Amino acid sequence: MKRNPDLIREILLHIETVPYPNQHVTFKIGDYLDDEISNHIQLLCEAGFIEAYDNPYTCFYEWEQVRLSWAGHEFLDIAKNQSKWEEAKKIILKEAETINFEILKQVLLQLNQPSWLKDPKKLSKN
């Protein structure tokens, strides 16, 4: 199964809406299959973006103690804006056949960089 950056982003957005961290969560996202979602949740755990535990006493698609990690919050902060997300993917796919996640993070950081950080002189004028 291929890694899908759009599904990864959707999962992170979904987890962010959970009112209480560490609770039981069932994921239904768009037309994605349960296997796809579950696989990507596992990938997000491996990447350190979320903490989630598959409940062995229920079906395979139920997750417990689901929460965003610090890294997950940091990534979501730069990936939330839909237009910047699409622009970042477009920039990468001009040069590559697939989207490398580390490169995606770097492009998103650049697109989200405040003007005062791009030009430190602006910071001193305020």
Residues 12 and 43 in one domain: yes
d(CA 126, CA 64): 46
Residues 92 and 59 in one domain: no
Is the predicted pLDDT of residue 126 greater than 60, yes or no? Answer: no
% of the chain beyond a pLDDT of 90: 58
Pair type for strands 62-68 and 50-54: antiparallel
- Domain holding 29, by residue range, is 5-76
pLDDT digits (tens, 9 = 90+) for 23-72: 677 788 899 998 899 899 999 999 999 998 877 676 656 677 788 999 99
Q: Output the pTM of the full model.
A: 0.85
d(CA 62, CA 27): 8
Residues 69 and 87 in one domain: no
State the pLDDT at residue 8.
96
Closest residue by Cα to residue 52 from 44, 20, 60:
44
Domain for residue 120, yes or no? no
State the pLDDT at residue 124.
66
